[in-house]
Structure 1
Amino acid sequence: MAYIILIIGFALLIKGAGYFVDGASNIARLLQVPPILIGLTIVAFGTSSPEATVSIIAALEGSAEVAVGNVVGSNIFNITLVVGVAAFLYPLKVESETIRKEIPFTLLASVALLILMSDMALQGFSSNMITRGDGFIFLLFLSIFMYYVIEIGLKSRKNAANEPVPENISWGKNILITILGLAAIIFGGDLVVDNGTKIAYSLGMSETLVGLTIIAIGTSLPELVTSISAALKKESEIALGNIVGSNIFNILFVLGASAAISPLAVNDKVFIDVMFMIVLTVVLMIFSRTNFKIGKREGSVLAAAYIVYLVYIIIRN
């Protein structure tokens, strides 16, 4: 029964994220916000909303390992399998200066996470925690990132005329869709956490492993669907921008909000996963700056890296 409810939870998360992104994007268009701002904020935040919901609920319920594992696992899944599959379907061009600046910002957020969770090594504490103070530091970083994105958006408004708003887009309908999407995400996230942890215990899996695998993959499905559809439509900047933006939101907003609500204990095993995430971000930065394109070969390397990582963490458990 837990498996069926888990699948229902994932379905609600994915469908809810779809409604949330559609409704919020249309509201942004009604507000005459530049398209680039929609891509960097609403789409990235919308596809990260399942991770946010699951991690915040997990933090409230005392499942800190699920909260941290979900974020780290989702980011690894995004960089490897999502970018890998999207690039394999259609080479991802990295022309935008924005994307080239966002990837280093993702690296900065990842390194900040490693430093802030290393309490035993750096401060000699008896355990590693992402404290409330650390959570507020992440949220401060997020506000800096949002300021940067809004500045980019305002510049783009000066350089390009806003798209005309189609007559069939209405305020009432899109506000309702956005609220319904958010409700589905919250309810689905609750089902995923509860039943994911039940399955973990019944199979003898640790909370960290289930967070890094089952829950991380499930909550990353919106990113996978969004980036693959963008790649098939040959909108490569949306495909890559969605992933990079989502990874920034995952660390700064999801972990920041989760830790601000309830301090998160860090499992020692997660350090290797965070280091792997940092290495993958560096690899993505190198790939994106090589001819400013992530092609099929690079995509295959990234996808293969996820399979190797998945085998490793299953054996490690």
Structure 2
Amino acid sequence: MSGKDMIMDLLVAVLYIALGFFFLMKGADFFVDSASGIAAKLGVSSLIIGLTIVAFGTSLPELAVSVTAALDGSNEIAVGNVVGSNIFNLLVVAGMSACIYPLVVNKTIMKRDWPLSAAAALLLAIFLIDAHISRMEALVLLACFAVMLFVQIKHSKKEKEEVKEEPRSYGKLMVYLIVGVAGIIIGGQLAVDGATNLARILGLSETLIGLTVVAIGTSLPELVTSIVAAKKNENEIAMGNVIGSNLFNIFFILGISAFLNPISVAQTALIDTTILIVISVVFWLICRVYPLNKKTGLAMVLTYVAYTIYIILR
């Protein structure tokens, strides 16, 4: 490849990344606004919207990557994408959101959903002891997802919350929601493609690209959505999106992926899942005592930097 061709490829890769972030920002903006509006219309708490609709929408890239990887027999990508994305969500998405705007973590998240996400990671670790996720284990994950969704919706009806008036119609809100999801998916894909091409042009290994770019790239929607939500003071959507996405990733995405094609992985998957359990418990305990502010957020981001250095060197 000539120097001119390399420069052109670099410019195209950077353009993809820039366009990706533009679509992610605009898509997330539409998504958070419409999700808040739907919550007001339905009289449902913003927390439940964050844990369900927003979490589902921002996890679509992980779903697409993991299911495709499972069907192609690329099991390491299917599991690594989910575990890597969950670690990124908790440490970077929540951490960077807190650095920009201090987050008030809802009591329901602290008492129920955050511990549940740690329990989900523990269940996954148990399944990975034999380095295999069978169809029966996949059904267990999907059953857990169904029960979790039922309990969240049931409890949301009991919560009393002052609901803001929403002048926009359901039709208009749904259009905004769909446009937001489309923007998030297109933006995530463009950003991943651009970053992957940039990494290859710069001579980084395929393994390193998979461990970093794919997991981080599919989590960009969560990152942008939570930051936008934090800026809009929609704290429940910001943290609900992080914890909801992590639950969705393990219970639903891995459940579907392993059901379609039982997954076999290397023992490193168990190590990474154990790391996910540890950081979930440690930062849950920290946030029970200290606020999720800039200092805590910075500690989370630095922990992710240390984890990234570890996976590069191992």
Equivalence for 2:58:
47
**CA apart distance, 1:161:** 5.2
> 1:235-291 CA distances to partner (integer Å, 9 max, x unpaired)?
444332221121111111111122122222212222221111111101111111114
- Corresponding residue for 1:123? none
Say if 2:47 and 2:240, in contact at 8 Å, map to a contact too.
no
In the alignment, what sits opposite 2:5? none
Q: CA deviation at 1:210?
A: 3.3
Write the distance in 2 (CA, Å) between the matches of 1:222 and 1:4. 18
Kept in 1: contact 2:86–2:246 (CA 8 A): yes
Is the 2:76–2:266 Cα contact (8 Å) retained in structure 1? yes
2:6 corresponds in structure 1 to none
Task: Report whether the alignment pairs 1:154 with 2:157.
Answer: yes
Matching residue of 2:4: none
SS at 1:33 equivalent: coil
Aligned match for 2:295, one of 297, 301, 315: 297
Equivalent pairs counted in the alignment come to: 302
What does residue 313 of structure 1 align with? 311
Q: Deviations over 1:171-207 (max 9, x none)?
A: 4444444445556666777778889888889957355
Which deviates more, 267-276 or 13-22? 13-22
- 1:139-183 CA distance string (max 9 Å, x none): 111112112211221012xx24543331xx234444444445556
Instruction: Give TM-score, length-normalised by structure 2.
Output: 0.80
Which residue is 2:284 aligned to? 285
Which stretches in structure 1 are left out of the alignment for 5+ residues? Answer: 120-127
**Cross-structure match for 1:268:** 267
Instruction: State how 1:55-134 maps to structure 2 within 5 Å.
Output: 55-119=66-130, 128-134=131-137
Residues 72 and 277, structure 1, Cα contact 8 Å, conserved in 2: yes
1:139: which partner in 2?
142
Q: Distance in 2 between matches of 1:15 and 1:50?
A: 17
Q: Name the CA distance, whole Å, in 1 between partners of 2:68 and 2:183.
A: 14
Which segment is superposed worse, 228-237 or 189-198? 189-198
Q: Decide whether aligned partners of structure 1 residues 251 and 192 sit closer, same or farther in structure 2, where only a CA change above 3 A counts.
A: farther
CA deviation profile, 1:104-151 (whole Å, cap 9, x unmatched): 1011000000011222xxxxxxxx222222221111111121122112
Structure 2, unpaired ranges of 5+: 1-8
What residue identity is the alignment partner of 2:53?
I
- Tell me whether 223-232 or 279-288 shows the greater mean CA deviation: 223-232
Q: Aligned letter for 1:101?
A: R
Quote the offset at 1:220 in angstroms.
1.3
After superposition, the Cα gap between the structure-2 partners of 1:25 and 1:230, relative to the gap in structure 1 and judged at 3 Å, is: closer
Identity of paired residues, percent?
Answer: 45
Conservation of the 8 A alpha-carbon contact between 2:24 and 2:224: no
AA at the equivalent of 1:299? G
| Amino acid of the structure 1 residue aligned with 2:150 | Y
SS state of the match for residue 282, structure 1? Answer: helix
Shift of 1:234: 4.0
* Structure 1 residues 140 and 283: alpha-carbon distance in aligned structure 2, compared to 1, 3 A threshold: same
**Cα 1:26–1:231, aligned 2, differ >3 Å: closer, same or farther?**
closer
TM-score using structure 1 length: 0.80
Distance in 2 between residues matched to 1:195 and 1:64, nearest whole Å: 24
